């Protein structure tokens, strides 16, 4: 499938419902964004897929990340940045920058979100990952929208949340299934049930299960349609293969990055480490020191679109976040995944499932050291035909699913009228 331009959904524009008729659809996306860059990047790709579809929509992305506008985007997408939260390794929330208590910053974020939604009046509200938002900050907004009765609410979930023995009691405590049953019209899982059957694993109730649709994984090659290559010096010389080390936002990626920096690269391989913007500066400086005297290793603090580098790579050593893993699989790269295991084990589960399918290699984070990484880089391996084994149609299906949901809502609207 060519990826120089987006493949449009099969829904004709004239069949798409819009109760306002003349005005564009209004779509709001919410992401709590407390750890890493994964939620931000997933929501940005979803917003882009909707903006470039024939849904004819204005899109507002509500996020806790302030640098979303640094990447290629669409003129119909606007951004609202919330005061940022931070999640510790123990899974506790706190204010990232402001000197505010957790209660105070959640109250502030909740008020900003509700006021924004009340004034924007979206036709569709897509919530990422947390049904009630961080610390319940969406409760008032969801009640407002349900009382208004004019907005479709959709919950989007990544393929894997955590171990079932963790998710089942924590979701019960948070009343997430009750929230879905009361406030949400659909639940989209951005994955393939052949890899992980969330309905079965998490024992969702029948009422919630009937709202779930698997979109397939999100093909990250579509990001190339929106991105511009950053003109930074590259050490990748002619006839040299490229090994890329990715640690997501970098907040907890130093151990892997240091192991890669100290690994012995084969003579025909150059290495690049992308540290991510959230890695502490003193740790980035230590990596720079490791690379200073090597002519086959380069450290980049941050690139706005890592897929531009990943498409050029021959080998990838990476943490196992949803987006990074999707990027690796989308480009069918030979990869070693070193999953995060705290505060959640979703990366570990994903890496284990994909390793069992023969699509990636996995190394437990407790076993990361320069010798282990050197050995993997020296091994010969084959690349699997990922797109024949896993459903990667999510970018195309999301506008399609939304169009179908809007058509049903429009018929109900006409009946009421």
CB within 8 A of 200, min separation 6: which ones? none
Instruction: Give the pLDDT of residue 20.
Output: 44
Task: Give the model's pLDDT for residue 135.
Answer: 93
DSSP-derived secondary structure letter, 84 = P
Instruction: Provide the token pair at 30.
Output: 């919410």
Instruction: Transcribe 66-82 into DSSP letters.
Output: S-GGGS---TTEEEEEP
Q: Split the chain (417 residues) into runs of 10 and give each run's mean pLDDT.
A: 40 40 84 72 92 94 69 81 81 83 94 97 96 96 95 97 98 98 98 98 98 98 77 57 93 95 94 91 95 93 87 95 95 96 94 96 97 94 87 97 91 45
pLDDT the model gives residue 92: 79
CA neighbor of 112 nearest in space, from 68, 82, 132: 82
* pLDDT value, residue 238: 59
Domain ranges of the chain: 24-217+392-416, 229-389
CA distance 229 to 242: 17
Query: Distance (Å, rounded) from C-alpha 56 to C-alpha 91?
Result: 39
Superfamily of domain 229-389 in the CATH hierarchy: Glycogen Phosphorylase B; (3.40.50.2000)
Give the pLDDT confidence score for residue 15 in this predicted structure. 39
Tokens of 283: 């740790």
Tell me the C-alpha distance between 256 and 236, whole Å: 21
> What's the Cα-to-Cα distance from 256 to each of 60, 238, 251, 325, 384, rounded to whole Å?
35, 27, 12, 16, 24
Would you say domain 24-217+392-416 falls under CATH 3.40.50.2000? yes
User: Do the two domains 24-217+392-416 and 229-389 of this chain adopt the same fold?
Assistant: yes
For residue 67, give Cα distances in angstroms to 33, 84, 162, 302, 304: 12, 12, 28, 12, 9
Closest CA to 138 of 168, 95, 105, 106: 106
Burial class (CB in 10 A: 0-12, 13-18, 19+), 225: middle
Residue written as token pair 């990544």: 158
Q: What is the pLDDT of residue 237?
A: 55
């Amino acid at each position: 499938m060519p990826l120089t331009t987006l493949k449009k959904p099969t829904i004709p524009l004239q069949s798409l419902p819009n109760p306002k008729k003349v005005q564009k659809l209004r779509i709001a996306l919410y992401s709590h964004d407390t750890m890493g860059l994964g939620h931000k990047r997933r929501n940005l790709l979803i917003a882009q897929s909707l903006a470039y579809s024939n849904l004819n929509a204005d899109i507002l992305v509500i996020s806790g990340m302030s640098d979303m506008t640094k990447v290629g985007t669409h003129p119909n997408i606007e951004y609202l940045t919330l005061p940022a939260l931070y999640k510790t390794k123990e899974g506790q929330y706190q204010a990232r920058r402001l000197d505010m208590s957790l209660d105070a910053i959640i109250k502030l974020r909740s008020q900003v979100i509700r006021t924004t939604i009340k004034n924007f009046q979206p036709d569709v509200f897509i919530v990422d990952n947390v049904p009630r938002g961080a610390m319940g900050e969406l409760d008032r907004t969801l009640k407002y929208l349900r009382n208004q009765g004019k907005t479709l609410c959709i919950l989007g979930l990544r393929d894997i949340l955590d171990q079932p023995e963790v998710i089942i009691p924590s979701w019960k405590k948070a009343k997430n299934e009750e929230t879905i049953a009361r406030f949400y019209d659909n639940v989209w899982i951005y994955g393939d049930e052949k890899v992980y059957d969330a309905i079965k694993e998490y024992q969702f109730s029948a009422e919630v299960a009937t709202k779930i649709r698997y979109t397939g994984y999100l093909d990250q090659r579509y990001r190339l349609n929106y991105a511009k290559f950053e003109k930074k010096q590259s050490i990748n010389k002619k006839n040299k293969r490229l090994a890329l080390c990715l640690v997501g936002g970098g907040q907890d990626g130093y151990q892997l990055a240091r192991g890669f920096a100290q690994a012995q690269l084969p003579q025909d391989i150059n290495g690049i480490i992308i540290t991510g913007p959230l890695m502490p500066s003193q740790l980035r400086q230590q990596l720079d020191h490791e690379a200073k005297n090597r002519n086959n290793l380069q450290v980049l603090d941050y690139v706005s679109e890592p897929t531009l580098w990943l498409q050029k790579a021959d080998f990838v050593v990476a943490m196992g976040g949803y987006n990074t893993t999707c990027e690796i699989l989308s480009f069918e790269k030979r990869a070693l995944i070193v999953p995060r295991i705290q505060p959640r084990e979703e990366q570990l589960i994903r890496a284990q499932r994909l390793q069992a399918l023969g699509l990636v290699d996995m190394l437990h984070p407790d076993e990361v050291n320069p010798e282990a990484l050197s050995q993997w880089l020296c091994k010969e391996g084959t690349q699997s035909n990922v797109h024949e084994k896993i459903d990667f149609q999510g970018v195309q299906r999301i506008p399609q699913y939304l169009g179908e949901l809007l058509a049903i809502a429009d018929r109900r609207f006409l009946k009421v009228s």
